[in-house]
Chains A and B, each alone.
Chain A
Amino acid sequence: MASAYNPIYTDVPEKDVFALHFLQTLSNLRTQNSFSSPDNKTSDRVKKIKKAAYVSMARAAGATNRLWSRSLLHQAAKRNNKNVRFLRRKRRVTWLMRRRSNRGDPIEDVAAERLRNLVPGGGGMETSKLMEETAHYIKCLSMQVKVMQCLVDGLSPK
C-alpha cells in the first residue's frame, strides 16, 4: 500500500534490521552460561529463544515508538526484574476505560477484545488505535518470521 496515500503511519524497517537485532539477542543468549550447557532442557531454551525473538523484534521495530513494542519490552524487563524505564500514561488509560464503559456494545467489540488479548499492550487502547497497532504488529511479526525462517533454513543440515 502506498505510504503517500495512507495517513496511518505503519512503516517497518527492512529485514536486515530485524536480522541484526535477532542475532544480537541470540548472541547475548549464547554468552549466558546456562544456555549452551547440554543439560539444559529444550523447553527452557525454546522459551528463551522465543522471548529473544519477541524482544529483538520489539527493538528492531522502533522500541518506544509503538505501544505494543513498549509493552513487550516492559514485560520482558519486568520478568528480569529490571527497572521500568518507560513512562506510563496512566491518566489516559483511565479516561479511556471510563469512555469505553459508557459506550454500547457494537459488533466489533467482541473481536476487538480478542485482538487486545493477542497484541501486547492492547488493554489500554481504543479500538482505532488498537487496529493501528495491530497493523504494525502484523508487519513486524511477518518480518521476524521471515528472518527466523531464513536463519533456520541456513542453519539446518541438509
Chain B
Amino acid sequence: MDLSGRFGARSGDGVPFREAAALESLHIGGGEEFRQMVPPENAGGFAALLELPPTQAVELLHSSSSSASQATTLHSLGTLSFPSNPLLMERASRFSVIATDNQQNGNVSGETTTTSSVPSNEHIKTEPAETETCDQAAVEKQSNRCGKRKELDKKVKSSTKKKNKSSEENEKLPYVHVRARRGQATDSHSLAERARREKINARMKLLQELVPGCDKIQGTALVLDEIINHVQSLQRQVEMLSMRLASVNPRIDFNLDTILASENGSLMDGSFNGATMQLAWPLQVMETEQSYHHRQLQQPPSQQWPFDGLNQPVWGREENQDHGNDHNNLMVGSTSLHPNQVKMEL
C-alpha cells in the first residue's frame, strides 16, 4: 500500500527522536504474525493513547480495510484524531479478532472501546500524537506528512529494538506494533516489505475463498494462475451469453422504457397474477406491462414475433415457465419492489 511504500521512499530522512516509548507501529493486512508489546512508559500524548484498547488501533492500521465511506467520515473529522465514528469502533471491535488471535486475552467488546475512547479523543486532538495520526492518515490514505512521521517512528524504533520475540501483551495498546522476529532485519525496508507481504497474503486468502477449487492449491503462483483463469472464464462467459442474447434479441420487444415509465400504473393496477409474483422485479414489471398492453390493445397472443408487435404474452408465458425454475435465484431482491411501490403510492 502507499504507506509501506512511503517507508521505503523516505528512509533516508534523519529525524529527531520524538518518543520515549520504544514503540513501533506499522499497519498490517493480516494479524497473525505480529507481536504486540506494552509500551514501557508514557510519553506526552501517549498517556491517553495507551489507555485505548487495541481494537481501535487495529482499525486504524487497516488502511485498506476502510471503505470509501469510512474514509470520508475520517476526512470529515478534520483534525487527525481518533475515529469517533461509532461505526468504526464497531468495526474495530470486530477486527480485534484478527489482531488479537494470538493474544491470551479475548476480544474487546465494541461498547467498551466506544466509551473509553471518547474522553481520550479530545486529549488526542490536542496532542500531536505522531503515530496515531499517522495510522489514521494511513487509514485515510491521504497525508504524506503522516507517512513521513510514521516512517520516522519506525526508524526510531528499529534502532532501539531488541531482536527477540516479545510477550503478547497488547490490551493497553492503541495500535498493533510490529516486532522483528529473531534473526530478521529491522530495516525499515524489510519491515515495510513484510507488512506489504502480509497484506498481499490476506487478500490472496480472500481470493482463494472466492474462486472455487483454489483452497487446495499450494503456492501463490498457482493460486494466482487459477484466479486469472477464473476471471478469463467469467469474461468468456459474458461474451458467450451476450452472443446468445444477441441472437435471441430480435424476437423480443422489451418495451422497457414504457414499462419503467408507466410502472406506477402497472403496479398499482394490482394486475399481478400468481405467476408474476415469482419473477424478479424488472421481469415482474414486464409481466404487468404485458397484461396491461394485453388489456389495452386486446390483441390475441400470436405465434409470430414482429419487431414492434405484441408478442409479450407469449414471451411472458415463456418467462413464467422458465423463471419458475430459477425464481428463487432472481427473487433475491423482491424487496426492491416495495420501495418503488411505496414511492408510487405516496
Mark A residues whose CB is within 8 Å of B.
1, 4-10, 14-17, 19-20, 23-24, 26-27, 30-31, 36, 38, 42, 45-46, 49-50, 53-54, 65, 92, 95-96, 98-99, 102, 107-108, 110-112, 114-115, 118-119, 126-129, 131-132, 134-135, 137-139, 141-142, 144-146, 148-158
Would you give 8 A-B contacts (Cβ < 8 Å), ordered by A?
A: A38-B250, A53-B241, A54-B238, A95-B5, A115-B228, A150-B326, A150-B329, A155-B252
Tell which of B203, B225, B283 touches A154, judged by Cβ atoms closer than 8 Å: B283
A31–B253 Cα distance when bound, in Å, is 10
Closest 7 CB pairs of A and B: A16-B333, A27-B256, A7-B65, A111-B224, A131-B203, A148-B241, A141-B234
| B-side contacts of A45, CB under 8 Å | 246, 249
| A-side contacts of B211, CB under 8 Å | 138
Q: Count B-side interface residues using an 8 Å CB cutoff.
A: 78
The answer to whether A50 touches B238 (Cβ under 8 A) is: yes
The answer to whether B242 touches A1 (Cβ under 8 A) is: no
The smallest beta-carbon distance between B211 and chain A, in angstroms, is: 7
Is B257 in the interface zone, CB < 8 Å from A? yes
From B150-158, B266-274, B317-325, give the one contacting chain A. B317-325
Is B346 in the interface zone, CB < 8 Å from A? no
Is B1 in the interface zone, CB < 8 Å from A? yes
Q: Mark B77-112, 1 if CB is under 8 A from A, else 0.
A: 000000000000001001101100000000000000
| B-side contacts of A14, CB under 8 Å | 332-333, 336
The answer to whether A118 touches B228 (Cβ under 8 A) is: yes
* CB-based A-B contact count at 8 angstroms: 206
The answer to whether B203 touches A132 (Cβ under 8 A) is: yes
Which B-chain residue is minimally distant from A130 (CB atoms)? B203
The answer to whether A134 touches B247 (Cβ under 8 A) is: no
| A-side contacts of B97, CB under 8 Å | 5
The answer to whether A138 touches B230 (Cβ under 8 A) is: yes
The answer to whether B326 touches A8 (Cβ under 8 A) is: no
Tell which of B196, B237, B318 touches A145, judged by Cβ atoms closer than 8 Å: B237
| A-side contacts of B323, CB under 8 Å | 150, 154
The answer to whether A134 touches B227 (Cβ under 8 A) is: yes
The answer to whether A134 touches B318 (Cβ under 8 A) is: no
| A-side contacts of B210, CB under 8 Å | 1, 135, 138-139
CB contact under 8 A between A16 and B29, given known A111-B224, A155-B245: no
| A-side contacts of B242, CB under 8 Å | 46, 49-50, 53, 148
| B-side contacts of A115, CB under 8 Å | 224, 227-228, 231
The answer to whether B221 touches A119 (Cβ under 8 A) is: no
